[in-house]
Amino acid sequence: MIRFVVASVLVFLLAIPAMAQQASVIKIGGLAPTTGNVATFGIGQRNSYELAVEEVNKAGGLKVGDKFYKLQLIFEDEQNSPEVGATAARKLINQDGVKAILGPTNTKVCFPVGAIAQENKVPMITPTCTNPKVTLVGDFIFRAGFIDTFQGAVGAHFVYKTLGKRRAGVLFDNGNDYTKGLATYFRDAFEKLGGKVVAFESFTDEEKTVDFRPQLISIKAANPDVLYSSDYYGAAALMAKQSKELGLNVPFMGGDGFDSPDLVRIGGQAVEGVHFTNFYSQDDPSPGVRQFIKAYRAKYKDTPDAYAAQGYGAAQILFDAIKRAGKVEGPAIRDALAKTRGLKTVVGVITYDQNRNPTKPAVIIRIKSGQQSFVTSVSPQDLPSTIRP
């Protein structure tokens, strides 16, 4: 009996360090599509989550209250699928016990994941879901990027004011809340400025659609002087090639979904001169951006795109809030996130409004000689009041 008691005490004492070690780790969930039709978005975000966690741990961890915690990233490929994303979110919360979620990447996955995070009181910060309704799912849902009412207005203003175009043809996927919403916001802003959308054409499911000629033929017949698409880079590259084949030789403008090296790899010369709105530019001279790009290149031998930068920025926002929360609990982290004011990140200075959206500028990018080239930065106050969100 004595031996049994002694043995039990020894087991307990030996377990204490392990228990302490386990208690000093904060599990963070990561969601992004590293396979599928927008894999370049997800790979960049996964890389940035890993980089941000690694940097915090190398510096000794996060101090919450009077204790230091190491971070553990548990990443899941959500495949740009609402169903896969929902399953992954439940796993992260119910099995892995994450305290917060970074991601998902795109709007159609943000809605179901956001509902699950809200139900379980787990804070979620999406780096790049831009549909305005995403954060309205609940008070645990935040974003690191701008919303599409702003992005659509920026694109419309650039087309109308800078490119001097007055007749727009619009092409988008009507089965995707992001593409449908952005196309609509562009149209509304463009027409408020005095332009006319002469064709508003749609298709369903850009993951499966490869022939856009029927819609492009209709658009060409309407005689536009500019083509706008809210779709992702793979579809956009094919649209550019097919519009040139059909003789629709007008400027091509898009949204942040164009941001991928595959836009040029697939589109080639057809995407030369294309403009699109984006979250950040690789040409940004600010010290924080230059340091991030240097660290990312050193680790991954690649240059981070805007989706990677937004992933890193979302991590910066979350980690700052956890430190200020005082305890590692969902509601406390949520409250700290909501109070974020003037936080300097790689994607700009973050202050949250009442709907958990940050006010930040957009940039205009041009494809020049096969490379992304910075054109200009646009803040909300730069837009006419008639189209300002």
Q: Tell me how crowded residue 60 is: count the other CB atoms within 10 A of its CB.
A: 10
Is there a single domain that holds both residue 167 and residue 265?
Answer: yes
Is 239 inside a domain boundary?
Answer: yes
User: In the prediction, which pLDDT does 158 show?
Assistant: 98
Confidence of residue 2 (pLDDT cuts 50, 70, 90): very low
pLDDT of 13 higher than 60: no
Mean per-residue pLDDT, 3-13:
42
- Asked whether residue 241 falls in the same domain as residue 370, the answer is yes
Q: Are residues 7 and 134 in the same domain?
A: yes
Q: What is the pTM of this model?
A: 0.89
Q: Is residue 135 part of a domain?
A: yes
Shared domain check, 6 and 20: yes
Mean pLDDT of the chain: 94
The pLDDT of 4-14, averaged and rounded, is 42
Regarding whether 227 and 123 lie in a shared domain, the answer is: no
Tell whether 140 and 156 lie within a shared domain: no
Q: Would residue 388 count as lying in a domain?
A: no
| Residue 154: how many other CB atoms lie within 10 Å | 30
pLDDT confidence of 17, banded at 50, 70, 90?
Answer: very low
Residues 20, 166, single domain; the answer is no
Whether pLDDT at 247 is above 60: yes
Q: Is the pLDDT of residue 190 over 80?
A: yes
- Residue ranges making up the domain that contains 19: 2-145+284-358
Q: Is residue 207 part of a domain?
A: yes
Let me know if residue 387 belongs to a domain.
Answer: no
In a domain, 389, yes or no: no
Strands (E) across 118-251 are located at 124-126, 141-143, 167-173, 196-203, 226-229
- What's the whole-number mean pLDDT along residues 289-305? 97
As for how many domains the chain has, the answer is 2
Let me know whether 225 and 319 are in one domain.
no
Give 9's pLDDT tier (boundaries 50, 70, 90).
very low
92-132: pLDDT as tens digits? 999 999 999 999 999 999 999 999 999 999 999 999 999 99
233 and 132 share one domain: no
pLDDT of residue 16: 41
Q: Are 373 and 178 in contact (CB under 8 A)?
A: no
pLDDT-derived band at 320 (thresholds 50, 70, 90) equals very high
Same domain, 331 and 221: no
Q: For 320-335, what is the mean pLDDT?
A: 97
Average pLDDT over residues 139-161: 98
Task: Assess whether 111 and 165 both reside in one domain.
Answer: no
Report the b/e string of 263-287 with b at 16+ CB within 10 A.
bbebbeebbeebbbbbbbbbebeee
pLDDT tier at 359 (50, 70, 90 boundaries)?
confident
Q: Is 315 in contact with 53 (CB distance < 8 Å)?
A: yes
CATH number of the domain encompassing residue 209: 3.40.50.2300
pLDDT of 209: 96
pLDDT band of residue 389 (cuts 50, 70, 90) is: confident
- Helix 213-221, helix 233-245: angle, nearest 10: 60
- 8 with 77, same domain: the answer is yes
Where b means 16+ CB within 10 Å and e means fewer, 183-204 reads bbbbbbbbeebebebbbbbebe
